[in-house]
Amino acid sequence: MPFRFELLHEDKAGPRAGRIITDHGVVETPAFMPVGTQGAVKTLSSADLESMGATIVLANTYHLYLRPGEKLVAEAGGIRRFMSWNGPVLTDSGGYQVFSLADLRRLSGEGVEFQSHLDGSKHMLTPERVVEIQLSIGSDIMMVLDQCTSYPCGRSEAKTAVDRTTLWAERSIAGRGARIIKDDYERVLFGIVQGSVYPDLRERSARELVGLDFPGYAIGGLCVGEPKADTMSIVERTAACLPSDKPRYLMGVGFPEDIVEAVARGIDLFDCVVPTRNSRNGTVYTSRGKLVIKNAAYARDWGPIDPDCRCETCRRYSRSYVRHLFNVSEMSGPRLATYHSLYFYLHLLSEMRQVIREGSFREWRKEFYKKYRLS
Amino acid sequence: MPFRFELLHEDKAGPRAGRIITDHGVVETPAFMPVGTQGAVKTLSSADLESMGATIVLANTYHLYLRPGEKLVAEAGGIRRFMSWNGPVLTDSGGYQVFSLADLRRLSGEGVEFQSHLDGSKHMLTPERVVEIQLSIGSDIMMVLDQCTSYPCGRSEAKTAVDRTTLWAERSIAGRGARIIKDDYERVLFGIVQGSVYPDLRERSARELVGLDFPGYAIGGLCVGEPKADTMSIVERTAACLPSDKPRYLMGVGFPEDIVEAVARGIDLFDCVVPTRNSRNGTVYTSRGKLVIKNAAYARDWGPIDPDCRCETCRRYSRSYVRHLFNVSEMSGPRLATYHSLYFYLHLLSEMRQVIREGSFREWRKEFYKKYRLS
């Protein structure tokens, strides 16, 4: 069954509900992808992800390429077999990590040379190589190598990044196209729109990539420090340049309210380390906003983290107990907190899918903000 | 329903099967108690303990007394409510931790004064106070404050420890006896036999405690460095001095083979940090013996940790994957390893209960050692 995107409901105001169909399962959209950086969502097992209702997981190409190496993952039967995850997997291109983690990087038209943040060993990533690595890892959705800009970013630098991103996108699909069947299942490549906060550059980047006919499009280089208003205006304008019959993925975003706002503007797919990373540090997300569970205020709070949540953490453990676990440095503290926050994110997306289909997203959004205190 | 011990099968050679009945559940014996030091078995949740078939959990009085404090645990509704564990809980007396963890300790006939290993604050534990703390924590089985000796230990030092342990045992039950009903359930006190490696001192200690008619007896101060042969000879001789209609608990023991040997000598109850602590460090226990899962040898081993194990880790994840998790410092590595090792221990005890009841323990033990490589 080839990869496809079905649009079930499109609101004129922006939000849309659909489904991404892959050889390894269906992802109802809008959807949030837990981040399984090194082939594992930090603190959790694949069984945990299943039990909380995750339908797709993101894994990081850069990390898996360095450890355990894409060849080992391929020998294991691919990332899904390796981590025992039964649904589809999306891998990023590694570009973002090269720009933010690697020690020394040298960018050229050819690709990007860098030193591992682990042992200083030298590596070269090119658009073609990044596809090969992802084919070895065995993800269902692969991302092209792009040039991600930071913020602030001058116009000419942003323009160079857009030009290079388009050229690299072309090279990514030059040999085999954007849909590759290997080991009896289809892997597809998504293009990534760049252009920093410049609407015309974003529009040009989108237009050029759409010309290459990718099965899906991502918006990269946002939530890197720019004002929230800029983020959302760029999301809105970029989404308008993308075809409505292809999934739209906003990379690395964000806080719950960012996701609500991006869904309102027609985004279908999200990933972010916020619910996992912040939970490990003791900040969890709830229907009332964020909550610093480590605070002494919760030492004698016998209620659940979120009174409206039905997750395994909230059904069973008190704020007092989770706070105690953090206080005495028990690993189960970060795990129970992560479980809750990811469940909250997944549930939030599930609620949005429902209200979009029912045509009541605007009313729902008002109610959401009545309860939710901004991060 | 009052606390009681039912002996179901007693082999003349030593091993016995029974059940400990508490107001919060039945513990089939011989049984292993996972160690929930700070109100949590490290890396695991109470739901994990349930799913692996644990029937009783041990919690450490010393740790809970310091954090979050026994008053908070009492306010939460007791340790079971606090950690959301539905079965019975046994608490140690804190004596062992005071001797091994606390910074400064001054022993007197009255009790033991010490400084917290966390903040240097001064505290005094007396036999009476230790019972009060455990009553606040709300465990089903409480342990008396004893004087634990290290190894080697001179005869006169061992004798002093026995004398003091008997005196403290008397003081522990002087007011209210060894069975106390509070908050609608019964809490019982176990005595602890000391005497280092001196058979006559062990016999005297056991005789004196049995004279006080405790609902159960522990053997303390073993596996502290003495030769294995001494451990087992002391276990055997001490068990012979204890009434057959009371449960016998060998404290802090041990490796799988130690438990098999102690069961063979009539022990009913065990606790030890070996399966949890060693698993966190990458050494797991299997039907073939221990296995250092972090070793590079397992990088491409696609089989489960233990081919004979049905635990959630072994049913789902490969040695290669668990090894990778350790290699990249993912918290889920220690968790999946701990889950397996504890499951292995619980399953080992369950197997022994069955063969004891069937009268085939000796044959089973031979088969066990044919497969099992000693730690």
**Nearest by CB: B72 against A42, A300, A336:** A300
Calculate how close chain A gets to B83, using CA atoms only, in Å: 7
**Prior bond to A177 cis, omega within 30?**
no
Q: Are the beta carbons of B75 and A300 separated by less than 8 Å? A: yes
A vs B: CB pairs below 8 A: 105
Q: Which residues of A touch B312 (CB under 8 A)?
A: 47
Distance CA B20, CA A371 (A): 49
For residue A205, the model assigns a pLDDT of 98
pLDDT band at A279 (very low <50, low <70, confident <90, very high): very high
Lowest mean pLDDT among A105-119, A356-370, B154-168, B254-268: A105-119
**Nearest by CB: B45 against A38, A328, A332:** A332
Q: Is A183 a catalytic residue?
A: no
Give the end-to-end CA distance of chain B in Å, rounded to a whole number.
Answer: 41
For residue A84, the model assigns a pLDDT of 98
Does the pLDDT of residue A208 top 80, yes or no?
yes
Q: Which of A140, A258, A271, A306 is catalytic?
A: A271
Q: Are the beta carbons of B330 and A302 separated by less than 8 Å? A: no
Q: Which residues of A touch B299 (CB under 8 A)?
A: 68, 72
Average pLDDT over residues B116-141: 96
Q: Are A294 and A327 in contact (CB under 8 A)?
A: yes
For residue B98, the model assigns a pLDDT of 86
For residue B1, the model assigns a pLDDT of 63
Q: Which residues of B touch A302 (CB under 8 A)?
A: 76
- Phi, psi of B334, deg, nearest 5: -55, -35
Q: Are the beta carbons of B42 and A335 separated by less than 8 Å? A: no
Average pLDDT over residues A129-136: 98
Calculate how close chain B gets to A338, using CA atoms only, in Å: 12
Question: Could you give the percent of chain B with pLDDT greater than 70?
Answer: 100
**Nearest by CB: A72 against B44, B299, B325:** B299
pLDDT band at A148 (very low <50, low <70, confident <90, very high): very high
pLDDT band at B375 (very low <50, low <70, confident <90, very high): confident
Calculate how close chain A gets to B372, using CA atoms only, in Å: 28
Q: Does A84 touch chain B (CB under 8 A)?
A: yes
Q: Are the beta carbons of B331 and A336 separated by less than 8 Å? A: no
Place of tokens 């003791």: A282
pLDDT band at A53 (very low <50, low <70, confident <90, very high): very high
Q: Does A67 touch chain B (CB under 8 A)?
A: yes
- Of all residues in chain A, the one with the smallest CA distance to B76 is A302
Tokens of A194: 């760049």
Q: Does B281 touch chain A (CB under 8 A)?
A: no
Q: Does A277 touch chain B (CB under 8 A)?
A: no
Nearest to A335, CA basis, from B46, B13, B350: B46
For residue B104, the model assigns a pLDDT of 83
Q: Is A92 a catalytic residue?
A: yes
Q: Are the beta carbons of B330 and A75 separated by less than 8 Å? A: no
Distance CA B230, CA A74 (A): 52
Average pLDDT over residues B312-341: 98
Distance CA A358, CA B355 (A): 61
Mutate: best of B85, B101, B324, partner A, most A CBs <10 A: B324
Q: Are the beta carbons of A76 and B321 separated by less than 8 Å? A: yes
Lowest mean pLDDT among A136-140, A258-262, B99-103, B148-152: B99-103
Place of tokens 């950690």: B83
Average pLDDT for chain A: 96
Average pLDDT over residues B30-44: 98
Question: Could you give the percent of chain A with pLDDT greater than 90?
Answer: 94
Calculate how close chain B gets to A11, using CA atoms only, in Å: 41
Model ipTM value: 0.97
Does the pLDDT of residue B102 top 80, yes or no?
no
Q: Which residues of A touch B325 (CB under 8 A)?
A: 38, 40
- Which tens digits make up the pLDDT trace of B220-244? 999 999 999 999 999 999 999 999 9
Tokens of B7: 């002996």
Mutate: best of B330, B338, B339, B342, partner A, most A CBs <10 A: B330
Distance CA A120, CA A135 (A): 25
Distance CA A309, CA B150 (A): 50
Q: Are the beta carbons of A335 and B331 separated by less than 8 Å? A: yes
- Domain ranges in chain A are 4-272, 273-375
For residue B11, the model assigns a pLDDT of 82
Query: Looking at chain A from residue 300 to 329, which residues have their Cβ under 8 Å from any Cβ of chain B?
Result: 300, 302, 312, 316-318, 320-321, 324-325, 327-328
Q: Which of A48, A92, A258, A306 is catalytic?
A: A92
Q: Where are the beta strands (DSSP E) in chain B?
A: 4-10, 16-22, 25-29, 31-33, 35-36, 57-59, 89-91, 105-107, 112-115, 122-125, 141-143, 179-182, 185-193, 217-219, 248-250, 269-271, 283-286, 289-292
Q: Where are the beta strands (DSSP E) in chain A?
A: 4-10, 16-22, 25-29, 31-33, 35-36, 57-59, 89-91, 105-107, 112-115, 122-125, 141-143, 179-182, 185-193, 217-219, 248-250, 269-271, 283-286, 289-292
Q: Does A288 touch chain B (CB under 8 A)?
A: no
Q: Does B331 touch chain A (CB under 8 A)?
A: yes
Average pLDDT over residues A275-294: 98
Provide the whole-model pTM: 0.97
Q: Which residues of B touch A327 (CB under 8 A)?
A: 67-68
Distance CA A295, CA A283 (A): 10
Torsion-angle region of B152 (φ positive above 0: left; ψ -120 to 50: alpha; else: beta): beta
CATH of domain A4-272: 3.20.20.105
Report, in angstroms and rounded to the nearest whole number, the Rg of chain B calculated over CA atoms: 20
pLDDT band at B105 (very low <50, low <70, confident <90, very high): confident
Average pLDDT over residues A289-301: 97
- Which tens digits make up the pLDDT trace of A156-168? 999 999 999 999 9
Distance CA A101, CA A99 (A): 6
The distance from CA A146 to its chain's CA centroid, rounded to whole angstroms, is 15
